[in-house]
Amino acid sequence: MDNLAAMFLYSSSSTSTSPAAALSSQLSLNMTNHYSHADHNYNNRYSSYTQSDDDHELRLIGENKKGPSDKVVVADRISPSTNSFSTGDGDDLNTSMASTKLNVRKGEKKIRKPKFAFQTRSQVDILDDGYRWRKYGQKAVKNNKFPRSYYRCTQQGCNVKKQVQRLSKDEGVVVTTYEGMHTHPIEKSTDNFEHILTQMQIYSSC
DNA sequence: CGCTTTTGACCGGCGC
DNA sequence: GCGCCGGTCAAAAGCG
């Protein structure tokens, strides 16, 4: 049947080192083949996305048969001003709200975190990506009957977050949005990113 | 007993 | 200024 829909990867052209590059290299483990396959399905069956360079928005446009007006924001605008956690590489754990508005650090330009959304067609909400996550929040989402869950990587010093949300439009679809990059190796050796893709393919063959 | 989840409160940003 | 909204905190409950 349908399977994995799409992955969105985009950068926050914030600082010197390109988080996008790092991200993609992090993601690149063997996924090229799978991805192109997925992309193919994605183009045919779902939708496409655009990326606004101005505010680094990521949008999922429409659905198969709906008009372009029917937009779904997959990854919301990366807020220019909220939280503080690292752009990825080991910023360190400035966890609390105490450091809330430090995206504007001393006249430096705002830091935008790399963020990418990953859309899968799956019965289960949580895909095992090999990292350990602790849930720290859940919120109802407007225009969506399913809540969005917020997770943080449990590894100390690693401030990667992710959000998981199911589309009410199509409850078979789960959108996982990652923020930041892991500062440590993957935890399980067997269940890595590649494993996810395997899982997806399993689902797709059902 | 230590870690994770749950859940209401809280906070800052944004639009009106 | 006010209210809404998305995101986070943190205490309490749950679980192995």
Q: Which amino acid is at A87?
A: T
Q: Which chain A residues 57-96 have CB under 7 A to strand B?
A: 79-82
Is residue A184 within 8 A of residue A160, CB to CB? The reply is no
> Highest mean pLDDT: which of A75-84, A144-153, A173-182?
A144-153
Local structure of A186: helix, strand or coil: coil
Task: Estimate the share of chain A in helix, then strand, then coil, as percent rounded to the nearest 5.
Answer: 20, 25, 55
Task: Give A63 CA → C7 C1' in Å.
Answer: 27
Residue A78 has pLDDT above 70, yes or no: no
Rounded, the Å distance between the CA of A82 and C1' of C1 is: 22
Look at residue A120 and tell me whether its pLDDT is greater than 50.
Answer: yes
A40-73 pLDDT per residue, tens: 333 333 333 333 333 333 444 333 333 333 333 3
- Among all strands, which nt has the closest C1' to A143 (CA)? C5
Q: Is the CB of A132 under 7 A from strand B?
A: yes
Concatenated DSSP letters for A111-173?
P---EEEEEEE-SSS----SS-EEEEEEEE-TT-SSEEEEEEE-STT---EEEEEE-SSSTTE
Nucleotides of C under 7 A from a protein CB: 5-10
